[in-house]
Structure 1
Amino acid sequence: MLAFRRGLTRALAARRIVPKVCASFASGPRQNDGTFYEFRTYYLKPSKMNEFLENAKKNISLRTAHSELIGYWSVEFGGTVNKVFHIWKYDNFAHRTEVRKALAKNKEWQEQVLLPNLLLMDKQECEIAYLVPWCKMEKPPKEGVYELVTFQMKPGGPALWGDAFQRAVNSHVRLNYNKLVGVFHTEYGVLNRVHALWWNESADSRAAGRHESHEDPRVVAAVRESANYLVSQQNMLLIPASFSPLK
């Protein structure tokens, strides 16, 4: 019996000193803030853009009473036209659920906005995105135009391409070639997708800054490094609506 107890004691001691192996599923800096942004894209029927925007302008207060509108734009160039793009801010997913429930019960919203506008649309797209940890939302100095640059990165997440991507973005910011509004990493939608929202005084100033940056060896080096992890890229020129907070 004594020998058995000694053997059991040694076995239990051995089990206690075996290291416990843990692995984190996270592939980059953790998102500590619950705040997220909903990117909504509406594809409108040809010739219905003005009607849609007029109705939105007239009734936008019914929507902004429930959550914060960041910006509302029509797409001028880049991919499909007859398209509007808008960004909404939420404190967390419970907040968004409350907003959707409230809108579903709002008779004015349903009759004056939702039902009429559905007749003007072909389809809708929705993405949920977080600001990347190294970026804060910035407000442009005055009215202008916006560019949404969407990068589809290689699978692996920010742990693979995050540092190189950050250096590429910051090379433009530090040298004042563009004014950065925000950088967002998709959580729901196509994964490994990053959206960079930029402001320019005009489309011509944007073109001039882009040409200058392409001749700057500091920018070229940073962009080439990040391009090693790039699958595809799309640029859209956005014109702010008259009721957009970001103009």
Structure 2
Amino acid sequence: MLALGSRPTRLLAALTLAPQVWSSFTTGAKQYDETIYEFRTYSLKSSKMNEFLENFKRNVHLRTSHSELVGYWSVEFGGRLNKAFHIWKYDNFAHRAAIRKALGRDTEWQGKFLIPNLPLIDKQESEITHLLSWCKLEKPPKEGIYEMVIFQMKPGGPLLWEEALKKAIHAYASQGYSKLIGVFHTDYGALDRVHVLWWYENADNRAAGRHRSHEDPRVVAAVQESVSYLVSQQNMLLIPTSFSPLK
């Protein structure tokens, strides 16, 4: 029998703990809420965007009878045009799997929307995300526009960069420069990616808020701390569709 603390015993213990250690470095604090948010992006063929959205508008009830639609937008600036972006909410991965299976059996949904629209889609992307533990999904005060800011953070997971990013986001939101809707961390897709969804009354309101924030020493200090963990950033201006729950 091996003595406690012997080299083989220590090696076995290290191998047993390794998956937990590396998982924590990748995902950060334990995800207590199993709720997942799927980000789906459809790149439509040129001149087919309106046809696609009108078809979805007519048949959206067939899809939302299966699971909750959080929001549906078209990309106005900051990315490829003719792009539709939408967020779906699921209780957990088992719930999503059950919904996808049910959609596969839903002949009305397939016949009225899926099959007619497949020729209009050039590319489809999907990411699975969680809300960061200190954030909940908010509602806008009224109709407006949205900005999705995508931060690609340094490898290491939330344990490395979450606190600094949280301070920067809270500094901006707490001063009223924008309305924070949600902060999402990618679980499947590009890792160490954070999506921050903001609401504004209009594009000029957004521009004015950013200008004021650049002169706010509290925001500047918080941002300077967080950017040391930043690899890249992309901003997209999103216009909610008429059938989007978030408007």
TM-score, normalised to structure 2's length? Answer: 0.91
Find the counterpart in structure 2 of residue 145 from structure 1.
145
Shift of 1:243: 0.4
Q: Does 1:168 align with 2:168?
A: yes
Cα offset, 1:12, TM superposition: 6.6
Q: Percent same amino acid among aligned pairs?
A: 66
Q: How far has the Cα of 1:79 moved from its partner?
A: 1.5
- Summarize the Cα distance change of 1:212–1:111 in structure 2 as closer, same or farther, 3 Å threshold: same
Secondary structure of 1:98's aligned partner = helix
Query: Could you tell me how far apart the structure 1 residues matched to 2:94 and 2:164 are?
Result: 34
Residue matched to 2:101: 101
**How far 1:159 moved relative to its partner?**
1.1
Q: What CA deviation, in whole Å up to 9, does each residue of 1:130-163 have, x standing for no partner? A: 0000100000110000000000001011111111
SS at match of 2:138: coil
**Which residue in 1 is equivalent to 2:228?**
228
Look up the match of 2:49.
49
- SS of residue in 2 equivalent to 1:52: helix
Q: Deviations over 1:58-78 (max 9, x none)?
A: 000000001000000000001
- Number of the residue aligned with 2:87: 87
State the alpha-carbon separation in 2 of the partners of residues 110 and 173 from structure 1: 41
Aligned twin of 2:31: 31
How is 1:1-247 mapped onto 2 (pairs within 5 angstroms)?
22=17, 24-25=21-22, 26-27=24-25, 28-247=28-247
Higher-Rg member (1/2)? 1
AA matched with 1:57 = K
Q: Residues 186-227 of structure 1, C-alpha deviation per residue, up to 9 Å, x if partnerless?
A: 000000000000000001100000110011111011111111
Structure 2: stretches of 5+ with no match in the other structure: none
Residue by residue over 1:23-58, the C-alpha shift from the partner in whole angstroms, topping out at 9 and shown as x without a partner, is: 633132110111000000000011111111100000
Provide the rounded CA distance (Å) in 2 between the counterparts of 1:217 and 1:30: 33
What amino acid is the match of 1:79?
A: G
May I ask how many residue pairs the two structures share in their alignment? 236
Measured in 2, the distance between the counterparts of 1:145 and 1:64 equals: 22
Deviation at 1:13, TM superposition (A): 8.3
Secondary structure of 2:162's aligned partner: helix
| Secondary structure of 1:152 counterpart | strand
* SS of structure 1 residue aligned to 2:135: coil
Q: Distance in 2 between matches of 1:188 and 1:99?
A: 18
Q: Distance in 1 between matches of 2:5 and 2:72?
A: 63
Q: Which amino acid aligns with 1:204?
A: D
Give the superposition deviation at 1:14.
8.3
| Alignment partners' CA distance in 2, 1:98 and 1:62 | 16
Q: Which amino acid aligns with 1:88?
A: W
Provide, for residues 106-143 of structure 1, a one-character-per-residue CA deviation record: whole Å limited to 9, x for no partner.
11111111111111110100000000001000001100
State the AA in 2 paired with 1:134: W
CA RMSD, Structure 1 to Structure 2 (Å): 1.7
Tell which deviates more after alignment, 184-193 or 108-117.
Answer: 108-117
Q: What letter matches 1:46 in structure 2?
A: S
